């Protein structure tokens, strides 16, 4: 298996996240990849996939992933049935951090228990 094939799931994420200025180069059994994600959240997901495949410090991969927007962690469009605690669990692994999201969105939210489908919420960086 080529090193590119080994890391294909990372490249697939890059396509899904519409990484800008992306590049992939395989030289002497080492894969060099890079580009710019829209948010830190997407970068984190790509690094999680890299570590899942190659371990904490893969010797066969060199990645240079930049982030376009550093003002917030991610933007999230509310889906039917979601709550701030469910969204917090998704992004932070802790439903109890829902007030972190609420406080970042007081321009459009007045009650942490009341959100609506199709609202676009700013997900702040994990505290």
The domain of 31 spans: 3-67
Query: Are both 89 and 49 inside the same structural domain?
Result: no
The reported pLDDT for the residue numbered 120 is 98
The reported pLDDT for the residue numbered 1 is 82
The reported pLDDT for the residue numbered 127 is 80
Distances in Å between the Cα of 53 and the Cα atoms of 5, 38, 95, 99, 118 are 11, 23, 28, 34, 34
Series of mean pLDDT values for 10-residue runs along the chain (127 residues):
94 97 94 97 97 95 97 98 98 98 98 97 95
- Structural domains counted in the chain: 2
Query: Are both 60 and 79 inside the same structural domain?
Result: no
Query: Are both 54 and 11 inside the same structural domain?
Result: yes
Query: Are both 62 and 28 inside the same structural domain?
Result: yes
The reported pLDDT for the residue numbered 11 is 97
Query: Are both 54 and 102 inside the same structural domain?
Result: no
């Amino acid at each position: 298996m080529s090193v590119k094939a080994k890391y294909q799931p990372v490249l697939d994420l890059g396509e899904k996240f519409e990484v800008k200025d992306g590049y992939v180069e395989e030289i002497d059994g080492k894969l060099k990849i890079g580009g710019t994600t829209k948010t830190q959240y997407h970068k984190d997901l790509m690094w999680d996939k890299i570590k899942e495949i190659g371990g904490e410090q893969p010797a066969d991969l060199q990645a240079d992933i930049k982030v376009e927007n550093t003002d917030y962690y991610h933007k999230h469009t509310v889906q039917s049935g979601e709550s701030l605690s469910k969204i917090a669990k998704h992004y932070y692994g802790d439903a109890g951090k829902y007030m972190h999201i609420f406080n970042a969105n007081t321009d459009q939210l007045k009650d942490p228990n009341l959100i609506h489908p199709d609202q676009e919420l700013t997900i702040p960086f994990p505290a």
